[in-house]
Amino acid sequence: MFTVAKLQEQDHIAVQNQDFDLALEYQALTEANQSDGAVVHFVGLVRNNNLGRQIQALELEHYPAMTTKALTELVAEARQRWQLGRIRLIHRVGKLSLGEQIVFVGVTSTHRGSAFAACEFLMDQLKTRAPFWKKEYTSEGAHWVAARDSDRVKAGEW
C-alpha cells in the first residue's frame, strides 16, 4: 500500500539544530550543474511579530522518526510533478532566536516556472504534512502556535 519514497543522489534533506549557510547551499545547487538555468530559494526566518504578538524566540519540536520520511515523500512528489534538477531542503529544530533561519528550500530547473512551482509546493506541503511544531516565546509567556487555515487551503490547492 505504501511505497517508500527514495531520495535522489543530487537531493539533500536535513533536520538539524545547527544553522545553515545560504551561500554553501547555493553552491551545492549550482556547482558542476550547467544544465539548470533557474534557481529558486526560499528561506523562512523567525520574525518579531505573529498575529500581533511580539516574539522573542521560537522552539521547534519534531517527530524524528517521521520527519525525514515525510520530507522525502514531498521531494519525491515534487519530482513527479515537475522536471527538476537539484532539490535541497533543511529544517532546523530546537530553540531559535529572533531573526534566525528556520527553513531552507532550494530548487533548480532548466526553466524558472518549474523551479518556482516546486519550491512553493514544497513549502506549502511541508507546512501541513511534515511533523514540526512551533512554540512561541513572548513577553507574556510561551504557547504553542495554532495551525493556520490559510496554510491548509494553500496546501490543498496543488
CA angle 105, 109, 113 (to 5 degrees): 85
Q: Does 51 bind a second copy (CB under 8 A)?
A: no
HSE toward the beta carbon, residue 80, CA cutoff 13 A: 9
Report the residue from 11, 36, 73, 136 that binds a second copy according to the rule CB under 8 A: 36
Distance in Å, CB of 47 to a second copy, minimum: 4
Adjacent-strand bridge partners of 143:
136
Find where cell 519540536 sits.
Answer: 61
Which among 4-12, 63-71, 76-84, 111-119 is the span making contact with a second copy, rule CB under 8 A? 111-119
Q: Does 129 bind a second copy (CB under 8 A)?
A: no
What residues make contact with a second copy under the rule CB under 8 A? 22-23, 26, 30, 34-49, 98-99, 110, 112-113, 115-116, 119-120, 123, 154
